[in-house]
Amino acid sequence: MKRKIAAVLITVSFIAFLLIGLSDFPPYGTADSAVYNEVTARYLEKSIEETGAVNAVAGMILDYRAFDTFIEASVIFTALVLVLMMLQKNDKANGGDGNDHAHH
Amino acid sequence: MTTPIIRRIVGWLLPFLWIFSFYIMLFGHLSPGGGFSGGSVLGACLILDRHVNGANAFGARFTGERLLKLSLAALLLYGILKGQSFLAGVLHMNGLPIPLGTPGNILSSGLILPLNVLVGIVVAVAFYLIATLFEEGHL
């Protein structure tokens, strides 16, 4: 029960954190916001000089936005762990109480 | 359902696919491709190998637990490598001095090449383990 309450609290605070970040965004479709002008121009003009990558996409996802890619890879890893937890047949990976280990 | 046809064709195809997957990962900063796409092809190689060669496959040399640990290690290494440069930037310090090199060379663009390989490992292990689990019911 304690763990469930902790999980709900962590989730709610994370959602609040994301929503607070979202409230700083410019309104959707604003033509003069920096994202649509300065960021694009900076990436296209300076990515080779600043990241050293000829492929501008690689420069963006692994240098300017490397943390985004880090979390993407973490999502894949978490999905893998969850699939193994839910679907594996043997008891070892299901977090059993340890008594089943003798059978394997 | 492995027929002799599949066995023969996969035998011809696999060496090229292995090389192609590493090419996609190692040249991610020079040409289209990168960690996610290279890792997908690498995972496909591991799956085909396992499907055709069974217990003699390359992936069968490792237990699922080992591959999970490898994947986790790749993820942690990514976090450390990139976390230090982000933290150093926030704290106005100098991170690890990683030269950017000449744009266009393979050994250039600082951390992008190793990070591509690390992402590729995570993706390949995920594809391979899930496919193995679905086909054989256990790892």
- B111-136 pLDDT, tens digit per residue, is 889 999 999 999 999 999 999 999 88
For residue A100, the distance in angstroms to the closest alpha carbon of chain B comes to: 16
> Over 50: is that where the pLDDT of B75 sits?
yes
Who has greater pLDDT, B1 or B66? Answer: B66
Tell me which chain A residues have a C-beta less than 8 angstroms from the C-beta of B72: 77
Distance CA B126, CA B50 (A): 14
Q: What mean pLDDT is predicted for residues B19-34?
A: 91
Distance CA A99, CA A91 (A): 10
Q: Is the CB of A55 less than 8 angstroms away from the CB of B32?
A: yes
Sorting pLDDT into bands at 50, 70 and 90, what band is A92?
low
pLDDT of residue A1: 87
For residue B32, the distance in angstroms to the closest alpha carbon of chain A comes to: 7
Distance CA A78, CA A26 (A): 32
Q: b or e along B112-124 (b: 16 or more beta carbons within 10 Å of the residue's beta carbon)?
A: bbbbbbbbbbbbb
Distance CA B80, CA B78 (A): 6
- CA B111 to each of CA A19, A90, B83, B85, B89: distance values in angstroms, whole numbers, following the listed order: 32, 40, 12, 10, 15
Residue B111 sits in which domain range?
4-136
> Over 60: is that where the pLDDT of A102 sits?
no
Summarised one tens digit per residue, pLDDT across range B35-58 is 899 999 999 999 999 989 888 888
Who has greater pLDDT, B136 or B70? Answer: B70
Distance CA A57, CA A54 (A): 9
> Over 60: is that where the pLDDT of B68 sits?
yes
Q: Does ipTM come in above 0.90?
A: no
Distance CA B44, CA B52 (A): 12
What's the total number of domains in chain B?
A: 1
Residue A94's identity, in one-letter code, is N
Contact A77, B126 (CB under 8 A): yes
When CB atoms are compared, the residue of A55, A69, A81 closest to B29 is A55
> Over 50: is that where the pLDDT of A96 sits?
no
pLDDT of residue B72: 94
**Could you tell me which residues come within 8 angstroms of residue A34 by beta carbon, excluding any fewer than 6 positions away?**
A26
pLDDT of residue A98: 44
When CB atoms are compared, the residue of A51, A54, A73 closest to B119 is A73
> Over 80: is that where the pLDDT of A94 sits?
no
Distance CA B138, CA A88 (A): 6
Angle between helices B64-90 and B112-136 (to 10 degrees): 150
Distance CA B34, CA A92 (A): 35
Distance CA B128, CA B136 (A): 12
Q: What mean pLDDT is predicted for residues A2-12?
A: 95
pLDDT of residue A50: 83
pLDDT of residue B71: 94
